[in-house]
Structure 1
Amino acid sequence: MVGTCYRVGGAVRDQLLGLPVSDIDWVVVGATPQQLLDAGYQAVGRDFPVFLHPQTHEEYALARTERKTAAGYHGFAFHAAPEVTLEEDLRRRDLTINAMAQDEEGRIIDPWGGQADLAARRLRHVSEAFAEDPVRILRLARFAARFTDFEVAPETLQLMRHMVQAGEVDALVPERVWQELSRGLMEARPSRMFQVLRDCGALARLAPEVQALFGVPQPEQHHPEIDSGEHLLLVLDMAAHLQAPLSVRWACVCHDLGKAKTPPEQWPRHIGHDARGVALAEALSARWRVPAPCKELAELVTREHIHIHQSQDFGAEARWRLLQRCDALRRPQRFAEALLACECDARGRLGLEQRPYPQGARLLADLQRLQALDQAALSAAALALGLKGPAVGRYIAQAQIEALAAP
Structure 2
Amino acid sequence: MEIYLVGGAVRDDLLQLPVKDRDWVVVGATPEDMLTKGFKQVGADFPVFLHPDSHEEYALARTERKQGHGYHGFTVYSAPDVTLEDDLIRRDLTINAMARDQSGQVVDPFNGQADLKARRLRHVSPAFSEDPLRILRTARFAARFAPLGFTVAEETQALMARMTADGEVAHLVAERVWQEIQRALHEQAPEVFFQVLRDCGALEVLIPELAPAEAFNQAMATLSCLAPTAATTEMRLAGLLSPLTARIAQARAKALKAPNDGIQLTALVAGQGPEAACIVHQPDAEALLGWLERVDAWRKADRFERLLQTCRCTHAALTTDQADWLTEARDLTARVDARALMAEGHQGKALGEAIRREKLARLQRLSQTGH
- Give the corresponding residue for 2:127: 129
In the alignment, what sits opposite 2:332? 369
Match of 1:46 among 44, 47, 50: 44
Counterpart residue identity of residue 358, structure 1: D
Write the deviation string for residues 129-175 of structure 1: whole angstroms up to 9, x where unpaired. 10000000000011111111211111101111111111111110011
Please tell me whether residue 90 in structure 1 is matched to residue 88 in structure 2.
yes
Partner of 1:390: 349
Q: What is the root-mean-square deviation of aligned Cα atoms in Å?
A: 1.6
2:254 maps to 1:291: no
Q: What letter matches 1:360 in structure 2?
A: A
Per-residue deviation at 1:112?
0.6
Deviation at 1:86, TM superposition (A): 0.6
User: Which residue in the other structure is 1:109 paired with?
Assistant: 107
Give TM-score scaled by structure 2 length.
Answer: 0.94
The answer on 1:196 being equivalent to 2:155 is: no
Q: What displacement does 1:8 show?
A: 0.7
Change (3 A) 1:51 1:398: same
Q: Does 1:333 align with 2:302?
A: yes
On the 8 A contact 2:218/2:315 being kept in 1, the answer is no
1:98-134 per-residue CA deviation (whole Å, 9 max, x = no partner) reads 0011112211111111111111010100000100000
User: What are the superposed Cα offsets for residues 28-84 of structure 1, whole Å, 9 maximum, x if unpaired?
Assistant: 111111111121111111211111111111111110000000011000000011111
**Following TM superposition, by how much is the alpha carbon of 1:402 offset from its aligned partner in structure 2, in angstroms?**
2.7
Q: Does the C-alpha gap of structure 1 residues 347 and 315 become closer, same or farther in structure 2, counting only changes over 3 Å?
A: closer
Q: Is the 8 A contact 2:189 2:224 kept in 1?
A: yes
Distance 1:347 1:244, change over 3 A: farther
1:379 and 2:348 correspond: no
Q: Does 1:242 align with 2:242?
A: no
Match runs of 1:337-348 below 5 Å? 337-346=306-315
Q: d(CA) in 1 for partners of 2:33 and 2:359?
A: 71
Deviation at residue 379 of structure 1 after TM alignment: 2.5
1:319 shift after superposition:
1.8
Partners of 1:311 and 1:359 within 8 A in 2: no
* Structure 1 position 57 matched with structure 2 position 44: no
Are the aligned partners of 1:14 and 1:21 in contact in 2 as well (CA < 8 Å)? yes
**Could you tell me how far 1:16 is from its partner in structure 2?**
0.8
Q: Cα deviations across residues 198-235 of structure 1 (Å, max 9, x unaligned)?
A: 10010111111111x31xxxxxxxxxxxx332122111
8 A Cα contact 1:235 1:347, kept in partner: no
- Provide Cα deviations, 1:287-337, integer angstroms capped at 9, x if missing partner: 121111111100011111111112322223322221111111111111111
Aligned residues: 363
Normalised TM-score (structure 1)? 0.86
Q: Which runs of 4+ in 1 moved over 4 A?
A: none
Which amino acid in the other structure matches residue 83 of structure 1? D
How far, CA to CA, are the matches of 2:16 and 2:333 in structure 1?
Answer: 50
**Partner residue, 1:266:** none
Percent identity of equivalent pairs: 48
Q: 1:104 to 1:347 in 2, by over 3 A?
A: farther
Classify the secondary structure of the residue corresponding to 2:346: coil
User: How far apart, CA to CA, are the structure 1 residues paired with 2:352 and 2:26?
Assistant: 68
What residue ranges of structure 1 are gaps of 5+ in the alignment? 215-226, 258-276, 349-354
List alignment gaps of at least 5 residues for structure 2: none
After superposition, residues 350-369 of structure 1 pair within 5 angstroms as 356-369=319-332
Secondary structure in structure 2 of the residue aligned to 1:54: coil
Question: Could you say what secondary structure the match of 1:241 adopts?
Answer: coil
- SS of structure 1 residue aligned to 2:160: helix
Cα offset, 1:385, TM superposition: 3.2
Q: Secondary structure at the match of 2:254?
A: helix
- Matches for 1:154-165 after TM superposition, within 5 Å: 154-165=154-165
CA contact (8 A) 1:8 1:102 kept: yes
- SS class of match (2:45): coil
- Residues 48 and 59 in structure 2, CA contact (< 8 A), matched pair in contact too: yes
**Residue type of the partner of 1:296?**
Q
Counterpart in 1 of 2:151? 151
Offset at 1:238? 0.7
Cα distance, 1:370 vs. partner?
3.2
* Counterpart contact for 2:38–2:51, Cα < 8 Å: yes
